[in-house]
Amino acid sequence: MANGPAPVAIIMGSQSDWPTMKHAADTLDRLGVAYEARIVSAHRTPERMFDFAKAARGNGVKVIIAGAGGAAHLPGMTAALTPLPVFGVPIESRTLKGEDSLLSIVQMPAGIPVGTLAIGRAGAVNAALLAASVLALTDEGLAVRLDSYRAEQTASVADFPSDEA
Ligand code: RP5
């Protein structure tokens, strides 16, 4: 891990979001990107959200990954409170399968952007990859590791389907 403050903050609305958001953490681990993961709820801990978002840039955070489900205000509210890039991950909710989360996060009015990813694991992994891509603009070592990640992914794809897989 890098020295100094973690450049990525992974925040989520609930402990129940962690099984999804852990995929973002695991992806950052694989790329050697330091992060801090926290539960920050827009609904249940609004003051914690405010304090986190207002202090994030001063604390050395460069990119925020925010996961939330249902009426998923956390990514948008966080983006409203900080100029840092915010990537939103819609959590797959029980009742509406995450379509509620997706629409809550993606439909930001013009002026406050949230980069919205896919529902669930794919979104969490890709949020981490996007965060790493942003950091790699000024980190040549990380850029090389991202290239390796893609090369390994490409090499893992078989030419033909198998009954054994
Ligand atoms: C949201 O409410 C959280 O992001 C979570 O996805 C959803 C449900 O939370 P729990 O009731 O499981 O704590 O704020």
- Residue 4: per-residue pLDDT: 72
Q: Using CA positions, which residue lies closest to atom 12 of ligand 1? A: 16
Mean per-residue pLDDT, 116-134? 98
- Give the domain ranges of the chain: 8-144
- How far apart (Å, rounded) are the C-alpha atoms in residues 155 and 157? 6
Distance from Cα 31 to the centre of ligand 1, integer Å = 28
- List, for residues 70-89, the tens digit of each pLDDT value: 999 999 999 999 999 999 99
Closest atom of ligand 1 to CA, residue 13: 4
Model confidence at 2, pLDDT cuts 50, 70, 90, reads very low
**Mean of pLDDT values over 123-150:** 98
Its ipTM equals 0.97
With residue 63 as reference, give the H or E element that holds it. Answer: strand 63-68
pTM for this prediction: 0.96
**From the candidate CATH numbers 3.20.20.70, 3.40.50.300, 3.40.50.720, 3.40.50.1970, the one assigned to the domain spanning 8-144:** 3.40.50.1970
Residue-wise pLDDT tens digits, 23-34 = 999 999 999 999
**What is the CA(52)–ligand 1 centre distance, in A?**
18
